[in-house]
Amino acid sequence: MTRITVSRRKLFATAGVLVGAVDLPGQERGNALRGQNSVNEEIVRKWYAAWENKDLGTFNALLADNFTFSSAAGDDHISKSAFKSQCWDTQVDFIGHFELERISAGADDAFVKYLCHTKNGKAFRNVEYLRIAGGKLESIECYFGAQSSFPSAVSSGQK
């Protein structure tokens, strides 16, 4: 009989590779959720790109019919049409570009922290919570950042 000597380090490394190759119970669901998270992150990126590119078609395509928007500026679950007229129509031409600093996407939602640069050289930072279903945004809750160089409910004292 031949003896093979293997160090514990190599034995554990080999065992780790073998365990990683085995599908564990529930792993399929985990992989599916990670896949959905990636899809939702892509939806989020398309959303902010639509604002940068002034792309009304993508704006409309990404919003569910029952979409609502809420913010500290007095918007409490306003409808898709109210959001378009009160936010898109009045703000889209001021947007230069977004720095998406953090996207944390889940199976049916995402948190986004961004720094928005305006065309007039100002900037503001917000955090938004987006609910996503069927590839569309069902709702957005916007939380304004601290005092900034751009008027908002916080910076204008309307907290």
CA 26 to CA 4: how far, in whole Å? 36
pTM of the model: 0.71
Under 8 Å between Cβ of 129 and 140 = yes
- Span 120-136, average pLDDT: 95
Give the residue carrying structure tokens 């073998």.
18
Check residue 29 and give its pLDDT.
47
- Dihedrals φ, ψ of 98, to 5°? -110, 140
- Span 104-133, average pLDDT: 95
- Span 13-34, average pLDDT: 47
Check residue 74 and give its pLDDT.
85
Check residue 131 and give its pLDDT.
98
Amino acid at 107: A
- Span 136-153, average pLDDT: 76
Check residue 9 and give its pLDDT.
54
Q: Is the pLDDT of residue 159 over 50?
A: no
Q: Are strands 95-105 and 78-79 parallel, antiparallel or unpaired?
A: unpaired
- Span 88-108, average pLDDT: 95
Structure confidence at residue 10 as a pLDDT band (50, 70, 90): low
- Can you give the three-state secondary structure of 34-89, one letter per residue? HHHHHHHHHHHHHHHHHHHCCCHHHHHHHEEEEEEEEECCCCCCEEHHHHHHHHHH
- Of 73 and 29, the structure prediction assigns the larger pLDDT to 73
Tokens read off for 30: 């985990």
